[in-house]
């Protein structure tokens, strides 16, 4: 049986250990899942930022692409001039008076002869201006200087690696390369190296992803072709000549040109700005000219301000405008500060709980250990890295540690429960084994106890039947022995039956009011011959006891079993007197049986009241019995709400004291 318990225990412990390992592995998977989920949230936020920034850039580029080419001049002639009108009104450019227009900064037009025209030319040429205009003039001059010293050398091919073009010849592009080739400047070598650094050297490279924003690119965008009356186009094209610039200065100084739209001038004022021309005829008034406006192309230009740029150079957006055989470029510098503000605004608005961000150049993205996700916003000509961070970098770790705490606590409780279960199983198994051993001893004892009196009764009956006994006294002695053996059998059978009824809960008690002293006296008188045969004498010491309620059969069985126990275990005593006493003690009636035997060891005082328990081993014991006598005494006493205890006396002996509740029920 123990071998089966060992196998079962090993299987249970192995299963628990396996479940514990699987649980710990599940926590690791859970941690990876939380990291993946959080990474997905960062990626989702990055995608939302990309879409929001792309929407803003698309709207901006749509506005700039649809902007009239005449807005890049200081003044222009509107298209809604009535046909045949000799003198045309002049309007101020809507881009004049400031340099920044959203993401566009410093709009300009490069004429075929290399002249740079801006909507703020008038402010650059004034000698005396107000403080506000002075600041605008300084900014406009700085912008013109930047274009002349940084952009034009790149366009002329004087900068190493740039595309050589002759944009200023009236014949167009002498190199034969179309304006779309400006896209070669979209991403310089330095920018490409920075992107590689951001992806290759960063410890978070596995958490970096490209988010292309192609709003500033020309791919997929169509060239606009519009038609205008030839007279309007010719008047507008003449505004960029040196003669017309001088005329603008004079007209502005005289106050003949107004600076707020929609201004108009009188016929005599317009004559100052236009050459005398023959009056348009019916034929040429109906003529139209096609204006071809190509999409904007980004161009990264190195220069003095390149170190301050997030794209390793200034970004210019240029478009080619062609009117018949005349070619010129229009464009503006990308306002990087405004672009960063737009990206930051989108990121701030779309950040989720527990997230933060910072913007960085690709070259500065490497080595950022606190970056949870790097979104590389690719504009085609350069990148801007949006580093997404955790407000609490240890948030997932704390959650996992909390989960581990609960897990280990649960495992500890389960292991404790399994351990207690196994211990209980082993204890129960040991108890069952002991009980089985006791039952075996009981069967052996009952067999012995039944066989001995039956043998005596059979022997005496056979001798009397065959008339081998001649003396009447001897016959009477044999009859007495037969009666005693029969009583012994009756007590044995009654003990077994009582124990069986108690175990099944079928024992019935009849509590009647009576005198316990009389009950004890009857039992002593019944047991006296048996005790005398064994060499013992029984003396009674009854006390003054009031009438009480008790079960007569149960009390009789208690006294009989105590006397029988004393006779069996005190057989070697020098003093073979057994005393039976009764007395009152508060609510209890006490019955004491005292012998002068060896006594009961302290460690066995509780065990001897267990069923089938014997002080000696069954194989070596010298006394007879089934081990049920004292167990029945305890059961009967408990039925009377009483107690039983053992007191050793000196020099030898023991007192079995029984207390019965004396209250009348």
Q: For 423-471, what is the HEC assignment?
A: HHHHHHHHHHHHHHHHHHHHHHHHHHHHHHHHHHHHHHHHHHHCCCCCC
With bands split at pLDDT 50, 70 and 90, how would you rate the model's confidence at 350? Answer: very high
Whether the pLDDT of residue 650 is over 90: the answer is no
| CA nearest neighbour of 311 among 243, 379, 220 | 379
- The pLDDT score that the predictor gives to residue 199 is 45
Whether the pLDDT of residue 375 is over 60: the answer is yes
- Give me 400's structure tokens: 């996992």
- The pLDDT score that the predictor gives to residue 170 is 31
Helices marked H in 539-613: 552-569
- The pLDDT score that the predictor gives to residue 332 is 94
Write down the residue that tokens 């006490």 correspond to: 590
Q: In 3-state terms, what secondary structure has residue 82?
A: coil
Considering only residues 309 and 238, tell me which one the structure prediction assigns the higher pLDDT.
Answer: 309
| CA nearest neighbour of 185 among 217, 144, 145, 223 | 217
* 593-618 tens-digit pLDDT: 999 988 888 888 888 888 777 665 44
Whether the pLDDT of residue 268 is over 80: the answer is no
- The pLDDT score that the predictor gives to residue 270 is 31
- Give me 78's structure tokens: 């509107």
Mean pLDDT within 420-432: 84
Dihedral angle of Cα 453, 454, 457, 461, to the nearest 10 degrees:
-170
- The pLDDT score that the predictor gives to residue 126 is 62
In the DSSP assignment, the letter for residue 571 is T
Whether the pLDDT of residue 381 is over 60: the answer is yes
Whether the pLDDT of residue 276 is over 60: the answer is no
SS3 content of the chain, % helix, strand, coil (to 5): 50, 20, 30
The Cα–Cα gap between 404 and 382 comes to 45
Mean pLDDT within 259-287: 41
* Edge-to-edge strands, sheet with 577-585: 537-541, 577-585, 588-595, 654-661, 643-648
Mean pLDDT within 392-399: 82
Say if CB 81 and CB 88 are below 8 A apart. yes
What is the share, in percent, of the chain residues with pLDDT greater than 90?
Answer: 20
Whether the pLDDT of residue 361 is over 70: the answer is yes
Q: In 3-state terms, what secondary structure has residue 126?
A: coil
- Give me 112's structure tokens: 């075929």
Counting Cα atoms < 13 Å in the Cβ hemisphere of 60 gives 24
Mean pLDDT within 280-305: 75
Mean pLDDT within 28-35: 84
The Cα–Cα gap between 233 and 70 comes to 9
Whether the pLDDT of residue 521 is over 80: the answer is yes
* 114-160 tens-digit pLDDT: 888 888 887 666 655 555 577 888 888 888 888 888 888 888 876 55
* 453-485 tens-digit pLDDT: 788 788 888 888 888 887 888 888 888 888 877
Whether the pLDDT of residue 498 is over 80: the answer is no
State the pTM of this model.
0.57
- The pLDDT score that the predictor gives to residue 590 is 93
Considering only residues 217 and 628, tell me which one the structure prediction assigns the higher pLDDT.
Answer: 217
Q: Among 205-209, 547-551, 647-651, which is the least confidently predicted range?
A: 205-209
| Cis upstream peptide for 651 (omega within 30°) | yes
With bands split at pLDDT 50, 70 and 90, how would you rate the model's confidence at 399? Answer: confident
Say if CB 435 and CB 33 are below 8 A apart. no
Q: Among 36-40, 286-290, 479-483, which is the least confidently predicted range?
A: 286-290
- 133 Cβ partners below 8 Å, 6+ apart? 123, 126
- Give me 325's structure tokens: 């055989």
- The pLDDT score that the predictor gives to residue 179 is 43
Ordered by where they begin, the domains of the chain are 71-186+225-335 (no CATH), 425-661 (3.30.565.10)
């Amino acid at each position: 049986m123990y071998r089966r318990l060992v196998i079962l225990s090993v299987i249970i412990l192995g299963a628990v250990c396996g479940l514990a390992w699987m649980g710990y592995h599940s926590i690791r998977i859970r941690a990876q899942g939380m990291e993946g989920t959080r990474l997905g949230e960062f990626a989702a936020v990055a995608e939302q930022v990309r879409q929001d920034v792309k929407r803003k850039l698309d709207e901006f580029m749509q506005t700039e692409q649809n902007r009239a080419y005449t807005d890049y001049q200081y003044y222009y002639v509107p298209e809604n001039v009535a046909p045949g009108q000799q003198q045309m009104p002049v309007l101020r450019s809507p881009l004049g008076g400031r340099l920044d227009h959203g993401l566009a900064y410093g709009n300009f037009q490069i004429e075929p002869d290399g002249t740079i025209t801006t909507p703020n030319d008038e402010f650059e040429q004034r000698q005396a201006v107000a403080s506000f205009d002075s600041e605008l003039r300084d900014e406009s001059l700085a912008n013109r200087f930047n274009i002349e010293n940084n952009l034009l050398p790149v366009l002329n091919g004087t900068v190493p690696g740039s595309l050589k073009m002759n944009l200023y010849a009236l014949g167009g592009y002498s190199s034969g390369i179309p304006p779309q080739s400006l896209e070669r400047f979209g991403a310089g070598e330095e920018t490409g190296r920075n992107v590689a650094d951001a992806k290759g050297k960063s410890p978070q490279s596995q958490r970096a992803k490209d988010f292309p924003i192609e709003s500033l690119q020309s791919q997929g965008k169509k060239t606009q072709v519009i038609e205008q009356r030839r007279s309007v186009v010719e008047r507008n094209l003449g505004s960029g000549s040196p003669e017309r610039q001088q005329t603008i200065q004079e007209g502005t100084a005289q106050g003949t040109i107004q600076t707020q739209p929609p201004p108009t001038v009188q016929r005599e004022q317009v004559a100052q700005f236009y050459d005398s021309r023959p009056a348009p005829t019916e034929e040429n008034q109906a003529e139209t000219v096609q204006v071809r406006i190509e999409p904007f192309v980004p161009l990264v230009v190195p220069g003095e301000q390149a170190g301050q740029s997030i794209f390793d150079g200034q970004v210019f957006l240029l478009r080619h405008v062609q009117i018949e055989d005349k070619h010129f470029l229009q464009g503006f510098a990308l306002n990087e500060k405004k672009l960063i503000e737009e990206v930051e605004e989108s990121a701030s608005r779309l950040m989720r709980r527990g997230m933060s961000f910072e913007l960085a150049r690709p070259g500065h993205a490497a080595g950022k250990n606190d970056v949870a996700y790097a979104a590389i916003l690719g504009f085609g000509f350069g990148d801007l890295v949006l580093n997404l961070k955790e407000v609490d970098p240890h948030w997932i770790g704390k959650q996992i540690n909390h989960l581990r705490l609960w897990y280990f606590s649960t495992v500890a409780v389960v292991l404790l429960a399994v351990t207690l279960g196994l211990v209980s199983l082993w204890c129960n198994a040991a108890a069952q084994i002991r009980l089985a051993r006791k039952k075996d001893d009981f069967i052996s004892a009952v067999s012995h106890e039944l066989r001995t009196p039956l043998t005596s009764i059979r022997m005496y009956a056979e001798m009397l039947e065959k008339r081998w006994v001649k003396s009447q006294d001897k016959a009477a002695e044999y009859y007495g022995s037969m009666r005693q053996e029969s009583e012994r059998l009756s007590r044995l059978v009654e003990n077994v039956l009582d124990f069986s009824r108690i175990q099944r809960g079928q024992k019935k008690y009849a509590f009647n009011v009576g005198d316990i002293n009389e009950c004890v006296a009857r039992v002593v008188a019944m047991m006296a011959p048996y005790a005398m045969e064994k060499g013992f004498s029984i003396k009674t010491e009854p006390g003054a006891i009031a009438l009480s309620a008790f079960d007569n059969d149960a009390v009789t069985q208690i006294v009989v079993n105590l006397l029988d126990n004393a006779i069996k275990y005190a057989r070697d005593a020098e003093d073979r007197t057994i005393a039976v006493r009764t007395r009152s003690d508060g609510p209890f009636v006490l019955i004491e049986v005292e012998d002068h035997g060896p006594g009961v060891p302290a460690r066995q005082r509780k065990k001897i009241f267990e069923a089938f328990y014997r002080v000696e081993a069954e194989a070596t014991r010298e006394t007879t019995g089934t081990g049920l006598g004292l167990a029945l005494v305890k059961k009967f006493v408990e039925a009377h709400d009483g107690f039983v205890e053992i007191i050793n006396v000196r020099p030898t002996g023991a007192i079995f004291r029984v207390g019965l509740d004396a209250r009348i029920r």
